[in-house]
Amino acid sequence: MMLVTRFAPSPTGRLHKGHAFSALTAWTAARAAGGRFLLRIEDIDPTRCRPEHEAAILEDLAWLGLDWDGPVRRQSDHRADYAAVIAALKARGLLYRCFRTRRDILAAIGDAPHGPQEAVRPGPHPPEEEARLLDRGAAFAWRLWLERARAALGEAAWAGMTFDEEGRGPEGEHGVVSVRPEAAGDVVLARKDAGVAYHLAVTHDDALQGVTHVVRGRDLFEATHVQRLIQTLMGWPAPTYRHHRLLTGPDGRRYAKRDRSVTLAELRAQGVSAQALRAELGFSSVG
């Protein structure tokens, strides 16, 4: 089977050193195996994503010396695909409307016996309350109903979900990892106003594009548990995961888009060459 990786940034700002490291890691893995490297633009958030940032991503990757196979997939062009998955999950009774705001849920968690570490599982509203809120045009999110998902899969399948980790998780997890979807609670899969949420869009696209190895930062390790549940519910293939270390600055903090000093654009402006940056990141040559 051909190895297929992807780099999937959100166009919400300029790429930084951490992005470069992740893109180079995924690109190198694909090229070393004679496989394919895909570029996907995850622009499902209309309030934060900008066309100029997408153009800058292409510019930065070209400067790094990276190429990709096939056309760039832009998620905003495929909202109907995601809506169809949401409709299928709703038809199976696996989603519920949640009108509670993030503040409402955090306040409720704070009052819970187990404190703020309790997973978010607000549950559906009573039918009469839901009808009243819908009549008012209140905004809502579609949440994955873990209780129903567990019943739909059955106890054996639920307990038997795993994923293959070729990298390392935050606690050194490696090899076959047992899935713990309950740790994330009833995650949001879609919103009335913004459409599909990250977990559903990314799993859908990985399956559609035939991604065999998800190469990404260790900060997304916990998201894998939810995404494996979605893959199992939808009958989508499970890729192998390689979570890599996160780059940090001299202060020990991971790089972020708000820190302009480490963006690839700023590094170029300072006269840093792509070759020098690749060497600094541990990639002596590209191409």
Residues annotated as part of the active site:
257
Q: Where are the alpha helices (DSSP H) in the chain?
A: 17-32, 51-64, 79-91, 102-110, 127-135, 146-153, 155-160, 198-208, 223-234, 264-269, 274-280
Q: How far is residue 178's CA from residue 119's CA, in Å, rounded to a whole number?
A: 18
List CB contacts of 202: < 8 A, sequence separation 6 or more.
8, 42, 227
Helix (H, G, I), strand (E, B) or coil at 215: strand
Helix (H, G, I), strand (E, B) or coil at 274: helix
Q: How far is residue 14's CA from residue 148's CA, in Å, rounded to a whole number?
A: 40
DSSP 35-57: -EEEEEE----TTT--HHHHHHH
Q: Which residues pair with 141 in a beta bridge?
A: 98, 191
**Which pair of tokens denotes residue 189?**
């899969």
**Which pair of tokens denotes residue 169?**
């998780």
User: Residues 44, 195: contact at Cβ < 8 Å?
Assistant: yes
